[in-house]
Amino acid sequence: MQESVPPTEAFPRSKAAATRALELDDTLGNAHNSLAVIKMYYDRDYAGAEHEFKRAIALDPGSAHIHMWYGWYLGLMGRFDEGLKEQRRGQELDPLSDHSNFGIGATFYWSRQPERAIEHFHGVIELNPNFRIAYWFLTDAYVAKGDFASAIATIENAPIALNDPVTLSAAGHAYGKAGERRKALEILSELERQSSQEYELAFHIAQIYLGLGDHEQALAWLEKACDERSIWLIWLGVDPKFDPLRSDPRFQDLLRRVGLPQSFDKYR
């Protein structure tokens, strides 16, 4: 297996490229959008990211791609109504965009509306049965609803199920919540094996431990993800999977270190 490039190498390179492009032409909306995504995921400069997103939209208001990314950012910041507005604007501009359509469902999921999320993800999959990300989000939404049988059926029948860490994580979490510990532990063992060669796996491993109800191991792997500067940690603020940890001071400290709000009383 080829070793992946760590975020500490990949993102600075991307940032340098976007910055250079803007030095040559500051009116490039897509370059401002790229810089915004880097500030959001890697720099954890959320105010700076929003500034770049707004600049990108001002320069290219007809870009469905930029509206989608800004909506994604707003959703991850817990600003769900604003995020839906941007995602729907992206959908209006490009009705066939998988990502804008999917982003609407993701916002429903993050805002604790699993039934609306499920309905929307089914629509996304109907339009594009090969859109992988919709399957693992649909699985998560079924878990949030408490419908574990449908969650497992979804992930097991995905067109390319169980062949990548994100899908494996969704499956392992669902199996754990459903009480199918053997299957969850098999996936966990595989991801822990891969973690010696791949970056960005600690966050996914933590989710499987959460499904198994092992909060201590979940927190330990989230600490490892923090040490690796995982871009996935921005999800800690809104993803329902982490609700069981929200009252733990160690989780609150993780939120602080990632720069996210530490008060999520409405999710408890």
Q: Could you tell me how far CA 38 lies from the centroid of its own chain? A: 14
Quick check: 29 and 59 in contact, CB under 8 A?
Answer: yes
Distance between CA atoms of 236 and 223, rounded to whole angstroms?
12
Distance between CA atoms of 120 and 134, rounded to whole angstroms?
10
pTM comes to: 0.90
Digit-by-digit pLDDT tens for the chain (268 residues) are 334 566 667 777 777 777 787 777 788 888 999 999 999 998 999 999 999 999 999 999 999 999 999 999 999 999 999 999 999 999 999 998 888 889 999 999 999 999 999 999 999 999 999 888 899 999 999 999 999 999 999 998 887 655 588 888 999 999 999 999 999 999 999 898 887 776 679 999 999 999 999 999 999 999 999 998 899 999 999 999 999 999 999 999 999 999 997 654 454 4
The identity of residue 144, as a single letter, is A
Domains in the chain, ordered, with CATH? 162-268 (1.25.40)
Q: Which two tokens stand for residue 207?
A: 């989710």
* pLDDT at res. 177: 97
* pLDDT at res. 73: 97
Q: What is the 3-state secondary structure (H, E, C) of the chain?
A: CCCCCCHHHHHHHHHHHHHHHHHHCCCCHHHHHHHHHHHHHHHCCHHHHHHHHHHHHHHCCCCHHHHHHHHHHHHHCCCHHHHHHHHHHHHHHCCCCHHHHHHHHHHHHHCCCHHHHHHHHHHHHHHCCCCHHHHHHHHHHHHHHCCHHHHHHHHHCCCCCCCCHHHHHHHHHHHHHCCCHHHHHHHHHHHHHHCCCCCCCHHHHHHHHHHCCCHHHHHHHHHHHHHCCCHHHHHHHCCHHHHHHCCCHHHHHHHHHHCCCCCCHHHC
Distance between CA atoms of 224 and 191, rounded to whole angstroms?
14
Residue appearing with tokens 């996914």: 204
* pLDDT at res. 164: 81
* pLDDT at res. 163: 59
* pLDDT at res. 1: 34
* pLDDT at res. 268: 41
Using CA atoms in the order 174, 175, 181, 182, what is the torsion angle rounded to 10 degrees? -140
Q: How many CB atoms lie within 10 A of CB 67?
A: 29
